[in-house]
Structure 1
């Protein structure tokens, strides 16, 4: 459990991916690789018509990438590989032939916001505040930016990225287009996720696949783009300013 867990369950043409990590559902590299592999595998599974992405417990949806791994980076290649973790997941979600429903029950930070943005349709509770805190530790949300900007626009992304200590409410995220609906409770959220997934699972799978391709039109260069963004972050994490900021944050 130190590296977290990830389970995939398929029933009635609906695949549910559920992840967990004791550190606020953050992602070590191994767990990110497993998540990307899960999307790649489900993409070619003819029994699956729709995917639900969720995390365990009732608090944080996802706190982003592993902080312990981040502070341990000592070379440019290590840095690039670390930031490629979320890049590979976003590209796996983008290339997946199935529509992905995000179920966001709590706060999302950094890469967690990127995960929500890479879903095709995202539902949340009012506890699902969001924040991009990367500037506070000397880096920036470069890898997830294309996915987040695609959903909420440049102005809203700038507001999140620049005011890096500020939480935005789930209702702000809904207004900007990250969330389709916001619910008062997890019970209401789960009921709507189930209702939507069941409806989608009965639709023409070829129509769903064509819609997915349409929604992601214009992102064909992301394999190269996100790798370049990972290199930017990999360079920054080795800077003295970032190392100092990370040590202060760790303390």
Structure 2
């Protein structure tokens, strides 16, 4: 089900102990600031919901998983404060995923760019389709993937992060992402993916929730400083987005 709403949509469906959170936006499932804020609130609420154990994070449709930040909102940033606030949106989502008491399983059905890659990396386990190519396009528009880098690097390491980010116009395949540790499983059909994901999420949701939470804390060990770090990074990105270089690049990109 697509959405025409310019701020996007967010739906949560609870089935047994599994909550499925689905986000959508007509522009390649990209994120507006409002949608990022709604996702943070939803994750915080689900984190404290004792009736569920597992969260599945997915996006609408069968095409792109996530196009990253909203282009229109990027173009509209006119001062440092607005820039910081906008990029802090992704910082807050990654931190909400990191501190969420539930295991988060990602469903990545298609291409994923920029901030979308940060979301995939902040999941605890990821099911992807063969169509789920990835790209960090930030340098090509004059900014850098500063906010999401810690989440991506935690999964794939510095060498793969360098390779991905310094070739910002190059797509890497879902199998590359799996080999580097970003995706846990890759399937050649969505039907197969959904069948396996459903089975996995249900099985996982039957485990001791306290044990899962204690284990998740171990997996995210030494990331407590991200609350400050990611927001600092958002400030730097906000400054970069105001440069003439970036404004021109964004306008060209849009055309």
Any idea what SS the aligned residue of 2:118 has?
Answer: helix
Give the equivalent residue in structure 1 for 2:249: 245
Give the equivalent residue in structure 1 for 2:117: 113
Spell out, residue by residue over 1:126-171, the C-alpha distance to the aligned partner (whole angstroms, 9 max, x if none): 0000000000110010000000000000000011110000000000
CA distance in 1, matches of 2:107, 2:125: 9
| Runs of at least 5 residues in structure 1 that lack an aligned partner in the other structure | none
Give the equivalent residue in structure 1 for 2:62: 58
- Does 2:26 correspond to 1:19? no
Give the equivalent residue in structure 1 for 2:194: 190
CA distance in 2, matches of 1:37, 1:162: 33
CA distance in 2, matches of 1:230, 1:186: 34
- Does 2:92 correspond to 1:94? no
CA distance in 2, matches of 1:214, 1:56: 31
Aligned residues: 251
Give the equivalent residue in structure 2 for 1:7: 11
CA distance in 2, matches of 1:2, 1:110: 20
Matches within 5 A, 1:143-158: 143-158=147-162
C-alpha root-mean-square deviation of aligned residues, in Å? 0.6
CA distance in 1, matches of 2:193, 2:246: 38
- Does 2:168 correspond to 1:178? no
Any idea what SS the aligned residue of 2:163 has?
Answer: helix
Structure 2 residue aligned with 1:217, among 217, 221, 227?
221
CA distance in 2, matches of 1:65, 1:189: 26
Any idea what SS the aligned residue of 1:27 has?
Answer: coil
Residue 10 of structure 1, CA deviation = 1.2
Give the equivalent residue in structure 2 for 1:85: 89
Q: TM-score, normalised by structure 1?
A: 0.99
| Runs of at least 5 residues in structure 2 that lack an aligned partner in the other structure | none
Residue 245 of structure 1, CA deviation = 1.1
Residue 13 of structure 1, CA deviation = 0.7
Give the equivalent residue in structure 2 for 1:35: 39
Residue 243 of structure 1, CA deviation = 1.3
CA distance in 2, matches of 1:67, 1:152: 27
